[in-house]
């Protein structure tokens, strides 16, 4: 397996049940840090949010850690619309 300690990941909040638009909540470097961040964000969900289908996942990105999550979300949406 390739070393992913230097790869950047977006932590994305998503509603897996309803398909509501997802948003970037954080960008981190390294798979291990990204997996910990997903767990941290998932622990912060309320029971009602979990029951409604909210959760987090990670995705590789070229954006740097510290990038504003709102900007990262806009970039992600623009890239997504270009792929369609």
Q: Is the pLDDT of residue 84 over 80?
A: no
Instruction: Confirm if 73 and 39 have CB atoms less than 8 A apart.
Output: no
Residue 31 has pLDDT above 90, yes or no: yes
As to burial, measured by CB atoms within 10 angstroms (0-12 exposed, 13-18 middle, 19+ buried), residue 17 is exposed
Q: Is 81 helix (H, G, I), strand (E, B) or coil?
A: helix
Percent of the chain with pLDDT over 90: 80
pLDDT score of 30: 97
Predicted pLDDT of residue 79: 86
Lowest mean pLDDT among 7-16, 19-28, 64-73: 19-28
- Nearest Cα neighbor of 25 from 62, 57, 47 is 57
Better pLDDT: 53 or 82: 53
- Gap between the Cα atoms of 39 and 41, Å rounded: 6
């Amino acid at each position: 397996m390739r070393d992913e300690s230097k790869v950047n990941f977006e932590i994305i909040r998503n509603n897996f049940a309803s398909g509501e638009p997802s948003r970037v909540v954080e960008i981190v470097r390294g798979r291990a840090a990204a997996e910990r961040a997903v767990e941290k964000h998932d622990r912060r969900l309320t029971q009602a949010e979990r029951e409604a289908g909210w959760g987090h996942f990670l995705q590789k990105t070229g954006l740097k850690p510290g990038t504003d999550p709102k900007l990262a979300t806009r970039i992600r949406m623009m890239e997504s619309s270009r792929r369609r």
